[in-house]
Amino acid sequence: MNKIKILFLGSVIFFTIFIFSLYACKSAAAKNGNALNKESVIRIALVMPVEGRYAFFGKQFVHGMLLSLKKREASKVKFIIVNLPLSADKTSIYGLFKSLNKQGVSAIIGPLFAGQLKYFSKYSDEFKIPVITPSPVVPKNYLSHFVFSYGMTLKQEIKTNMKYAYEHGIKSVSVIYPYYGYGPLILKYIIFYAKKFGITLLNKTAYNRNTVDFFNNFENLVIFNAITNRNVTAAERAELGVTKYDLMNGITKSKPNIPFGGLFVLGGKSKLKLILTQLVYYNITGFPLFTLSSIDSRRFMEKNAFYMENSFFPDGFFKHAHNAIVKKFSSAYKKSYGKAPNILSAEGYDIGKIVIKASALESNAVGSSPSNQNAPKGVSFYKAILKIKKIKGICGIINLKNNIFKKSLYLFNYKNGKIYILKNPLEAS
């Protein structure tokens, strides 16, 4: 009985926050003279974590999207911001869709979390409300009739790296990855694209959450050569933290045999730092390192520059790009919010452009055909989204195919203390 009371109370609290969010957004719009009860208004719900633990990510996205509303052609689009925590379950999300349907929303933007997407997929079909998700992981079975995806996905990142390896004659790669989180999924993408581009996947080795010494993983990737001189000075021990195992095998002074042409190093920043430093310590160097956008951090690079030589990493946005639309966006964002934009900000802005474009197409369709005036708002907006074949965003050229707004990624190379842009999506045709 106590558990039932707690669950009921939790649902009431969540739904109260949800209704309050709607009311607050309505009041703000009314004060600006943008009453939401006009038929010409197109209501778009932003369902994001804007409070609590993940508020930073949600707000970055929302800020970018709100910035897109400053365009003149966005006058009819009004956003309803709804806080959706990670803890929101199937019942809560159903209630959310039911309420938004009564509000007459034309589309829902969200969620950020892949685990919630299956419920968004189910209820978008049921209520006939299109959903555009920026989630970095979108399984095919979650892409229902009414769900569209736009964002930088892990699959795209691996494809960008692997395509570069193929184009530059790298015949074989090995992988060190986490056996938790998205690690196994990323490995599947590596296996898929290695096969597609004809690259041999030599070895793969996984580590656990509590792994801090990666020597056993390295043994699965390279061949350590024995040496006769096993003496290490006290200074070396103090500087390198040499273990008894190292002293016994003399590997700190040995150059191992490296069979692969490139190495994928995957994991969070804390793990990456350990892996990269230990690769250098064991003399496992002299080849391209492929990783993901997580290392595209100024602070991370400043601290680990020495260990990142000849590393490659993709990303979906570059705030310092020498491009007029990026410069204008970055300047406006910093002026509005006091900080530089990131990838979530840019994706929010681009989805805002998609919404504005769809709203214009919907208005034209309704005006030209009286039969469309009686169509449900969600269905009408869904048809308008399908008409968008190509659009130029902050992140590059965006093409709609099979409910996926596809774009190319940047590819960067860190070499000799400098970052080089190898691929620029804004220059794609």
Element spanning 361, H or E: helix 343-368
3-state secondary structure of 143: coil
pLDDT of residue 38: 46
pTM, 2 dp: 0.79
Q: What is the DSSP string of 11-39?
A: HHHHHHHHHHHHHHHHHHHHHTT--TTST
Residue pointed to by tokens 């970018």: 64
pLDDT of residue 230: 54
Is residue 81 within 8 A of residue 22, CB to CB? The reply is no
Q: What is the pLDDT of residues 242-288, one digit of tens each?
A: 565 665 566 666 678 999 999 999 999 899 999 999 998 888 999 99
User: What is the Cα–Cα distance from 429 to 426, expressed in whole angstroms?
Assistant: 8
pLDDT of residue 336: 93
Q: What is the pLDDT of residues 399-413, one digit of tens each?
A: 998 888 988 899 999
Q: Beta strand pairing status for 390-393 and 107-109?
A: unpaired
pLDDT of residue 252: 64
All domains in the chain, ordered by first residue: 2-152+324-408 (3.40.50.2300), 155-318+411-427 (3.40.50.2300)
Tally of CA atoms within 13 A in the half-sphere of 15 that contains its CB: 17
Residues of the chain with pLDDT below 70 are 1-39, 72-73, 226-254, 365-375, 428-429
